[in-house]
């Protein structure tokens, strides 16, 4: 027997999931729970690595899926500090808390949960095409271990292949992310730095991160993920990494750099179509990221759970048309809210530095107890009368 | 055509996400641009966080200067 898994010539699964990130393994877990025969294919040799993520999640989001465990929690976060271009610091009242994860371990844990529910997981399995029959998806084409090209048939394929997703496009779904919506991101994990271990910092401004923001997310006492995203269109002048290098040299001159990664965050609204015959898309692949914050771990898992449950039902009831319900379920649960956030994003990322400073000055007058995120938003709007009209439009 | 500069790519997939022609192949530690399909639109070049890609403008495939 070889090192990896070998597939018989006509192997057949109920559900094949492409990609073993949090959305894919969550979809697999919930599909397997309903008794379906599930296979997860991951192109990399390792689940959860490399980590291309700031690793921040909220407590409420997380506990829907897994009990928090110190094994994969680097920090507990209680405060946010938002820094305006002129240095004014705003400290909103979060009314909650969150975590900075160790995703390398967290993603493993999610994969183990899926496997414990009966899903099979295979790494070094690069999906490079779909088996299509009359517009219907009937399985995947896979390059195994960089050497063997095979086909695996399935009743339902779930595309969870992340920002670089192509699975949907192969089946005719338009998931290409617009350049202005793609946050081009770079992040360093730094150690030997002076930070507050319970506080996340966010920096805004044209000079720091045009069309995006810079983050400092603590990982323990003297270590942090320091990264930024710029809207793709600004990459025309200057690339994300050079903005980050400039900030780190200034702010953390004596840091040791543990790792540097590149990444893309599709800060768009969910793709118009995320289901077709035999295919569902989840997570970054479906563009299920929160378009304002760029957070996609929890929202992707929410998409994964809904898709997994519906796919499982469809198999159980032997009615594949049931998967079309997924689009609506997602819209009701989060999709519509993301559409609203998307509109908000479109005007907040257009603010000039002067406007941001003005808003920050206004906000800094509000005492901490009253500065909830909702209040913060409405004060920002009040400071900018033209925005009131824009915001009204969102609710009409 | 789009040139991949040596040794700088981090295989993050940001370029793949914006490519309207779906012509970038991203393996675990290798990327390839399928030149016959690429239209030299430049989106992948601007989206790349690490400045890995470069558009060499000769004549674009559609006969215009890109
Ligand atoms: C720099 C950065 C910082 C971020 N910070 C945060 C944050 O702090 N909080 C937050 O909530 N979100 C954050 N995000 C977003 C978050 O990382 C993603 O939304 C999340 O990882 C999406 O999960 P996923 O399962 O959909 O995709 P991924 O986690 O990207 O998983 C997709 C998987 O599919 C595999 N794959 C891709 N193509 C194929 C193929 N053809 N065949 C087989 N396998 C394939 C990939 O190798 C990968 O393992 C950040 C993103 C970036 C880039
Ligand atoms: S965006 Fe840049 S670093 Fe990322 S995969 Fe493409 S070429 Fe490589
Ligand atoms: S130039 Fe345009 S078409 Fe060519 S690979 Fe880049 S994004 Fe795709």
- pLDDT tens digit sequence for A302-324: 999 999 999 999 999 999 999 99
Task: Tell me the best of A162, A214, A230, A279 to mutate to test the pocket of ligand 1, counting ligand atoms within 8 Å of each CB and taking the most.
Answer: A162
Closest CA to A286 of A109, A24, A50, A37: A24
CATH number of B2-55: 3.30.70.20
* pLDDT of amino acid B62: 54
Positive or negative CA dihedral for B14, B17, B23, B24? positive
Nearest-angstrom CA–CA distance, A150 and A147: 10
Three-state DSSP class for B26? Answer: strand
Report whether pLDDT(B52) > 70: yes
Q: Which residues in chain A land under pLDDT 50?
A: 1
Taking the CA of B24 as reference, the closest ligand is 3
Cβ contacts of A128 within 8 Å, gap of 6 or more? A141, A142, A143, B25
Task: Tell me the best of B23, B26, B56, B66 to mutate to test the pocket of ligand 3, counting ligand atoms within 8 Å of each CB and taking the most.
Answer: B23
Architecture of domain A12-50+105-177+271-345: 3-Layer(bba) Sandwich (3.50)
B6 CA: distance to closest CA in chain A (Å): 16
A318 exposed, middle or buried (CB, 10 Å; 0-12, 13-18, 19+)?
Answer: exposed
* pLDDT of amino acid A1: 44
State the closest ligand 3 atom to the C-alpha of B18, by its place in the atom list counted from 1.
Answer: 7
Taking the CA of A261 as reference, the closest ligand is 1
Nearest to B18 among A166, A177, A236 (CB): A177
Task: Band the pLDDT of B60: cuts 50, 70, 90.
Answer: low
Regarding the domain delimited by A76-96+179-266, which CATH topology (the fold level of the hierarchy) does it fall under? D-Amino Acid Oxidase; Chain A, domain 2 (3.30.9)
Pinpoint the alpha helices (H) of chain A.
Answer: 22-33, 59-63, 103-116, 167-170, 240-251, 297-316, 325-330, 336-348, 353-363, 373-383, 385-395
A136 phi and psi angles, rounded to 5 deg? -95, 140
The response to whether residue B14 sits with its C-beta less than 6 Å from ligand 2 reads yes
Report whether pLDDT(B65) > 50: no
Q: Which residues of B touch A146 (CB under 8 A)?
A: 27
* pLDDT of amino acid A2: 52
Cis peptide before A50 (omega within 30 of 0): yes
* pLDDT of amino acid A387: 67
Q: How far is CA B11 from CA A51, A280, A379, B32, B34, in A?
A: 12, 25, 41, 11, 16
User: Per-domain residue ranges for chain A?
Assistant: 12-50+105-177+271-345, 76-96+179-266, 350-395
Report whether pLDDT(B66) > 50: no
User: Per-domain residue ranges for chain B?
Assistant: 2-55
Residue of A nearest to B18 (CA): A177
The ipTM is 0.93
* pLDDT of amino acid A298: 98
Q: How remote is the CA of residue A284 from the centroid of ligand 1, in Å?
A: 6
- Subunit contact B17:A163, Cβ cutoff 8 A: yes
The DSSP call for residue A177 is P
B46: Cα within 13 Å, side-chain hemisphere: 20
- Subunit contact B49:A169, Cβ cutoff 8 A: no
Strands A275-276 and A213-218: unpaired
Window 224-243 of A, Cβ < 8 Å to B: 232-233, 235-236, 239-242
Per the document, the length of chain A is: 396
State the closest ligand 1 atom to the C-alpha of A183, by its place in the atom list counted from 1.
Answer: 53
């Amino acid at each position: 027997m070889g090192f990896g898994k070998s597939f018989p010539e006509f192997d057949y699964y109920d559900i094949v999931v492409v990609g073993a990130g949090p959305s894919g393994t969550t979809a697999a877990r919930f599909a397997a729970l309903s008794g379906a025969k599930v296979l997860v294919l991951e192109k990399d040799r390792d689940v959860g690595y490399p980590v291309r993520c700031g690793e921040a999640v909220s407590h409420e989001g997380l506990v829907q899926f897994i009990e928090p465990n110190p094994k994969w929690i680097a920090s507990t976060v209680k405060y946010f500090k938002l820094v305006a271009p002129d240095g004014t610091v705003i400290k909103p009242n979060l009314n909650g808390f969150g975590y900075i994860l160790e995703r390398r371990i967290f993603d493993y844990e999610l994969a183990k949960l899926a496997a414990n529910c009966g899903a099979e997981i295979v790494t070094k399995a690069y999906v490079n095409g779909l088996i299509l029959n009359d517009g219907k998806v009937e399985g995947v084409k896979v390059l195994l271990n960089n050497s063997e090209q095979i086909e695996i048939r399935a009743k339902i394929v779930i595309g969870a292949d992340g920002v670089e997703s192509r699975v949907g496009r192969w089946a005719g779904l338009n998931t290409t992310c617009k350049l202005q919506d793609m946050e081009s991101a770079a992040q360093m994990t730094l150690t030997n730095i002076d930070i507050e271990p319970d506080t996340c910092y966010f920096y805004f401004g044209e000079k720091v991160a045009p069309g995006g923001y810079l983050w400092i997310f603590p990982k323990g006492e003297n270590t942090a993920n320091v990264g930024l995203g710029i809207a793709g269109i600004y990459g025309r002048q200057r690339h994300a990494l050079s903005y980050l290098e400039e900030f780190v040299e200034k702010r953390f001159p004596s840091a040791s750099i543990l790792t540097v990664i590149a990444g893309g965050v599709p800060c768009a609204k969910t793709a118009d179509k995320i289901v077709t015959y035999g295919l569902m898309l989840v997570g970054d692949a479906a563009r299920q990221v929160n378009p304002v914050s760029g957070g996609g771990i929890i929202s992707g898992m929410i998409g994964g759970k809904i898709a997994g449950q519906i796919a499982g039902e469809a198999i159980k009831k032997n009615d594949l048309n049931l998967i079309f319900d997924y689009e609506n379920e997602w819209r009701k649960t989060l999709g519509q809210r993301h559409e609203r956030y998307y509109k908000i994003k479109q005007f907040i990322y257009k603010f000039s530095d002067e406007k941001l400073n003005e808003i920050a000055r206004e906000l800094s007058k509000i005492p901490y107890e009253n500065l909830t995120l909702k209040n913060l938003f409405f004060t920002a709007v009040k400071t900018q009368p033209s925005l009131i009209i824009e915001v009204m439009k969102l609710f009409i | 055509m789009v040139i991949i500069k040596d040794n700088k790519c981090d295989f993050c997939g940001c370029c793949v996400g914006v490519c309207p022609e779906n012509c970038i192949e991203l393996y675990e530690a290798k990327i390839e641009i399928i030149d016959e399909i690429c239209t030299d639109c430049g989106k992948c070049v601007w989206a790349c966080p690490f400045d890995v890609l470069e558009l060499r403008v000769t004549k674009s495939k559609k006969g215009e200067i890109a």
